[in-house]
Structure 1
Amino acid sequence: MELSTLVGKRLALIFPGQGSQHVGMGQRIHEVSSAARRIFNQADEILRFPLSQLCFKGPADELADTFNAQPAILTVSLAYLEALRERLRELGHTIQPAFVAGHSLGEFTALVAAGVLSFEDALALVRERGRLMKESGQERPGGMAAVIGLDRAALEQVCQEASELGLVVVANDNCPGQLVISGEEAALRRAMELAQERGAKRVVRLGVTIASHSPLMERVAHALSELLARVPLREPEIPIVANITGKILSTVEEIRHELAQQVVSPVQWTDAVREMANRGTTAFLEVGPGQVLTGLVRKIRQDVEAYSVRDFGFEP
């Protein structure tokens, strides 16, 4: 598909979160794009270790460690964004997105794309976010599970019933019929059993030992709030649609609150996509190492176009 397909459309750029990482991600774009190479080189220099080689060569378990996965996904996503801009310039085109949004971790990438955060500050923040989340997961172990084919009201009732064994909540509203729950081990297992009993088509335990987007991350939210108070943020050059509310973030203070509180709050991805579509977005482009968000957009709104960078010849 030609990149010129995107020119002239009311476009939203969307950025993936944790779970999209895989060994080999970004290697091809590093080879062919000088703009992408600059991003990888900058990340290696800032972090003082070869993050690029971890992305390209693994090992997979080290890459999946939340402490590494978060800066790796941010870096690869921004490498794709810079390569995309570079190729458009070569073709004599530019695109000015109407909106940006990111799923969980991807919100930091969206803020760099919108000119709110510098890459250097974003990299430091997500590295620390990953460290804090890993530490919190070790102190208060938990997990997450995807629930397919059960509506939100029914799943919230399930979580309420399972809460007699501990904390468990709805963590992600990814698209109609696809939700994620998060919480403490015993309560999570009970909620998974109840969801199946109530008619869920599938219940799949996710490969994480961290209860993201739940009150178990309260200490992380507090630490992030203190960090963010010291990080310079600029007014967005492109409107950003928030995870917590699915609405546009309009001030720097709203952005600070969003970034701290999203680790304890559900990701309202369905609402975010609908907000962008309702405001006239006709095409969504997923920029990063995966195509999960592309599929979610297609399930949320059938009247919009959804692409990933792979559709335009950018290798995974």
Structure 2
Amino acid sequence: MGKTAFVFPGQGAQYVGMGKEFADNFKVSKRTYEEASDFLGIDMKGICFNGPDEELVKTENTQPAILTTSIAILRALEELGIDCQMTAGLSLGEYGSLVKSNVFEFSDAVKLVKNRGKYMQEAVPIGSGIMAAILGLDRSQLEECLKSCRQHGVVEAANYNSPGQIVISGEVEAVKLAVKKAVELGAKKAVVLPVSAPFHCSLLKPAGERLKYDLENLKINPPKIPVITNHAAQILNCKTQVIPSLVEQVSKSVLWQDSVELMIENGVDTFIEIGPGKTLAAFIKRITKALDKKVSIYSIEDMNGLKALTTSLGGI
């Protein structure tokens, strides 16, 4: 019997209206938004369901908004008796997996990610750092490309999302040069992304240090189910690993492809993406295709997604 993994999306998945169908249909989901509003002193339902977009895309709002939506949907699934044996999340999504695994209380996690968003935004002056997506180069080709651009500033691999899709991050001049060189090396596509800071590179180290202080003041529990960490693509075995892992995660590469491969090695054959968007499902499809593995993948962001899942599980 194969295992099921719950996976949680990261920043960039947000949109106005996310989670509304769950809040309308499940009391436990509605209550999750109300809890987040109380914990943070902001109208979480208002921001998620009505926007405006310019409020939702502020990093310190985006991060708690996505986490709240993911947990609101997670709680509805749990109420229906749908569960998992392993969990992971992309960047911010890792906090969803830590809540699922009972490492953090939701109340602590949602405050933590609001601060995380603020620290990440404040670590680098606006306009001095950017990110770009590189499609169609393998890791060794990309590393050569980045190496040759480093005399112009910081440029590093930020996300290994799936085979042939890597995101880079760093200082503007170095990243723009890397985009140009990647195309010369045969990348199918290399585009600068519309993000507000150069996430997951060494420029973000000060944000990790500020986050460490917050983490040290939280109650952390041992994981109830295995959580795969982003920065090492390894199973989080004990609570002492939580703080160093989340501090590192802010300024190190997100090893998403490696994390999915590890879950498959550990017997996962069903992936359920919980939260806004279908980005992780697309990455997992590409990763499993490259491995020639057959898995079931579901994205649960609305009632249609939930219906597809419950139908396949025999109409829970």
- Please indicate the TM-score interval, normalised by the length of the shorter structure: over 0.9
Any idea what the Cα deviations from partners look like across 1:152-199, whole Å, max 9, x if unmatched?
Answer: 111111111111110000110000000000000010100010011111
Across the aligned residues of Structure 1 and Structure 2, the Cα RMSD in angstroms comes to 1.5
User: What is the correspondence of 1:114-263 to structure 2 with a 5 Å cutoff?
Assistant: 114-138=101-125, 141-263=128-250
Quote the residue 2:298 is aligned against. Answer: 307
**Moved segments of 4+, more than 3 Å:** none
Q: How far, CA to CA, are the matches of 2:184 and 2:54 in structure 1? A: 33
Q: How far, CA to CA, are the matches of 1:221 and 1:64 in structure 2? A: 21
C-alpha contact 2:133 2:192 (8 A) present in aligned 1: yes
**TM-score (norm. length: structure 1):** 0.93
- Which residue of 10, 14, 18 corresponds with 1:17? 10
Quote the residue 1:79 is aligned against. Answer: 72
- State the one-letter code of the partner of 1:75: T
Any idea what the Cα deviations from partners look like across 1:70-128, whole Å, max 9, x if unmatched?
Answer: 00000000011111122x2xxxxx34411100000000111001000001110111000
The secondary structure found in structure 2 opposite 1:313 is helix
Any idea what the Cα deviations from partners look like across 1:50-70, whole Å, max 9, x if unmatched?
Answer: 021111111112101111100
- Which residue of 253, 278, 283 corresponds with 2:270? 283
- State the one-letter code of the partner of 2:298: Y
C-alpha contact 2:18 2:276 (8 A) present in aligned 1: yes
- Which residue of 8, 13, 28 corresponds with 2:21? 28
Q: How far, CA to CA, are the matches of 2:245 and 2:172 in structure 1? A: 27
**TM-score (norm. length: structure 2):** 0.93
Any idea what the Cα deviations from partners look like across 1:236-274, whole Å, max 9, x if unmatched?
Answer: 111001101111010111111111110110000011001
- Give unpaired runs (5+ residues) of structure 2: 309-316
Following superposition, the deviation at residue 140 of structure 1 comes to: 7.6
Q: How far, CA to CA, are the matches of 1:154 and 1:312 in structure 2? A: 40
C-alpha contact 2:77 2:83 (8 A) present in aligned 1: no
The secondary structure found in structure 2 opposite 1:275 is helix
- Give unpaired runs (5+ residues) of structure 1: 1-7, 89-93
